[in-house]
Structure 1
């Protein structure tokens, strides 16, 4: 029996998830144009290990036949089921997510993806979903901002070296790292406000 189950409004329970990786599961939903609400739940076979939960994603085929992954929410030991509204407006207006980093070019069905991951990361992602759905590749944006910060900081201490190249003292790296870590611990989103 599967760890997860899905009920599409007006249909029987589906539990036939394919296990893509140890922490990623996929379920095909036929006739996606008739989907209005889905309920995703834990079947009770096994609880999540401490500190883990599951992000739920929905992939609805678009005009090109390729689906785009949309983050819906999550389930956890404390919240073992959730009901999600799947409306055509949300399907076309929601920002995309690269749930598994894959696209199925012949997608004629919808898919539900479940990814078991750190509960703290899921809650962080979920906290922004009321304002705007956060793409999974926020990590890329964060990394870019972090490297820009480091580059700007380090180059401000650069001095010419023999051969004409610019160098900076190694202590600059330590100083930047301590500053960045301090800012991150006081406000995990400080990098979003910096230009």
Structure 2
């Protein structure tokens, strides 16, 4: 009934989940090639008549042991969707393009030493559940609202288990090395931009100015951490 294509790879058909009465389907994306960025196209097969009063909610997970996470839907009015998949160590500065899904599928790595995990995009499993359209749309709206409240954005993140246990700067740097570097650079640049306004003729600045910057920085970070995204070199 459904099919998916990971960019640069062959089409793969869905299979019915046993004992679901044809209401649940899965697609395991195997034989795929890891890339810095990739896209998955998911669609209803052309010879399938999909009832207009139903929708197929689309879920993703990275391995059979993890839980599915909701990302979008298919229907008679929207028979296809494109999801952007970001592999570990991808260029974080590239513009996000979530396509027709709820958001980007962010495949983060929690393996020691960083880099590509031992099992990559080939683990990606797509689950599709056919249910009444009104019910599906409500579920999607609730999921999107919940994610927005938790993350402060409309992107849904599909991350490997274990990333929620980050408790120290070192753990953060191991799981998200590139993002940690970018965060450090933003903080240093913010301090530089502030302190250069107080240089004396010899190019020095009082340590009290640094203390003032730090107090202001912590207060603003607590109120609106996203201001760091706007920090640029003068």
What is the TM-score of this pair, normalised by structure 2?
0.43
Cα deviation, 1:121-174, whole Å, max 9, x if unaligned, reads 11112224444349xxxxxxxxxxxxxxxxxxxxxxxxxxxxxxxxxxxxxxxx
Aligned residues: 115
Contact 2:9 2:32 in 1 (8 A): no
Using the alignment, how far apart are the partners of 2:17 and 2:65 within structure 1?
21
Q: 2:55 aligns with which of 53, 63, 66?
A: 53
Q: Of Structure 1 and Structure 2, which has the larger fraction of its residues in strand?
A: 1
What is the TM-score of this pair, normalised by structure 1?
0.50
CA gap of 1:76–1:12, structure 2 versus 1, over 3 A, is same
Using the alignment, how far apart are the partners of 1:57 and 1:33 within structure 2?
21
**Are 2:106 and 1:90 equivalent residues in the alignment?**
yes
Using the alignment, how far apart are the partners of 1:34 and 1:16 within structure 2?
21
The aligned counterpart of 1:29 is 29
- TM-superposed deviation, 1:67: 2.2
RMSD: 2.8
Contact 1:18 1:27 in 2 (8 A): no
Structure 1: runs of 5+ lacking an equivalent: 94-107, 135-195
- TM-superposed deviation, 1:24: 0.5
- Is the partner of 1:86 in helix, strand or coil? strand
**Are 2:140 and 1:126 equivalent residues in the alignment?**
yes
Contact 2:60 2:69 in 1 (8 A): yes
